[in-house]
Amino acid sequence: MDYYLYNLIVLYKNIILNYAINDKENINLFKGKRLRLAEQLRAKGIKNNLVLAAIEKIPRHLFFDSTTAIPALLDHAYSDKALPIGEGQTISHPYTVAFQTEHLNIIAGEKVLEIGTGCGYQTAVLSEMGAKVFSIERQKVLFQKTKLFLPQMGYNNAKLFYGDGYKGLLQFAPFDKIIVTAAAPYIPNDLLIQLKIGGIMIIPIGESISQEMIWLKKTSQTTFDKKTLGIFNFVPLLQNKSR
Ligand code: SAH
């Protein structure tokens, strides 16, 4: 697409977004639905009150791609569904976000590496819990969009990177926690190296449409406690993608 036209579209989207964000009504819109979603997640077994408080607070309906944010879709923003965010990607189910976050056992101030920024919803949940988030996205368009969007939502501290999640972020390692939000065929070695001793990683592993959620704790430079926490569905963690 013509560069000038692209910038014009981005500018236009930002004007609309700014309007939506500055509009208190819009932030408070669906507040009741968010409370019910948090209740639903609690009923499904999520116990961590900080995770539930973040989900109650974050206006998930503003995280969708504005081109797909048609009222019918907005109405689904607070049902437990994975929804499109553009570039063929999806925002994870709220249950999946809550489940992965709960198992990370986040303590405020911890350094968390997120692989797969997407629309930034998971980044926002971690930020609300006081984590210092470093997040990598492989799709340039999504990266650019979310890099503009999160500060507008008040999340100024999360550091977003355009890059390959398989490689992690060596320059900011080690991390207290690592969360991978796309399905990997194996646990990337670079991520294991960049996890602190005592640190936790949560990562869906598998190459078919469903994957096993793997939880692991690094017990020494070379040893890990590992368990499987159930079956989930993620989009694939892309390999060898150059743009
Ligand atoms: N955490 C996101 C979930 C997005 S879905 C959210 O809350 O919206 C998974 C994301 O991982 C997609 O945006 C996809 O583009 C990204 N992704 C896929 N392969 C990747 C890779 N190798 N490195 C980093 N991000 C990747």
- Cα(162) to centroid of ligand 1, in Å? 11
Ligand 1 pocket, CB under 6 A: 85, 89-92, 115-116, 118-119, 121-122, 136-139, 142, 164-166, 181-182, 235, 237-238
Residue 166, pLDDT score: 97
- How does pLDDT run across 48-70, given as a tens digit for each residue? 999 999 999 999 888 876 554 45
Question: DSSP secondary structure string, 86-136?
Answer: ETTEEEPPHHHHHHHHHHHT--TT-EEEEE--TTSHHHHHHHHTT-EEEEE
CA-CA-CA-CA dihedral for 180, 181, 185, 187, to nearest 10? 10
pLDDT beyond 80 at 28: no
Residue 199, pLDDT score: 98
pLDDT beyond 80 at 139: yes
Residue 154, pLDDT score: 93
By percentage, how much of the chain surpasses pLDDT 90? Answer: 70
Given 3.40.50.150, 1.10.260.40, 3.40.50.300, 2.60.40.10, which CATH number is that of 3-232? 3.40.50.150
Map residue 169 onto helix, strand or coil: coil
Residue 2, pLDDT score: 59
Give the residue whose CA is nearest to atom 18 of ligand 1. 237
pTM of the predicted structure, to 2 decimals: 0.88
Using N-to-C axis directions, what is the helix angle for 140-152 and 3-22, rounded to 10°? 30
Selection from 231, 182, 179, 187 nearest residue 210 by Cα: 231
pLDDT beyond 60 at 243: no
Residue 54, pLDDT score: 97
Residue 25, pLDDT score: 53
**What ligand 1 atom has the least distance to the C-alpha of 87?**
15
Residue 32, pLDDT score: 87
Distances in whole angstroms, Cα of residue 72 to Cα of each of 55, 69, 77, 179: 21, 8, 9, 31
- Cα(136) to centroid of ligand 1, in Å? 8
Residue 13, pLDDT score: 55
Mean pLDDT across the chain: 87
Domain range annotation of the chain? 3-232
The whole-number average pLDDT for the span 180-194 is 97
pLDDT beyond 80 at 19: no
Please identify which of the residues 79, 92, 127, 208 carries the catalytic annotation: 92
By percentage, how much of the chain surpasses pLDDT 70? Answer: 83
79: annotated active-site residue: no
Cis peptide before 174 (omega within 30 of 0): yes
The whole-number average pLDDT for the span 215-231 is 97
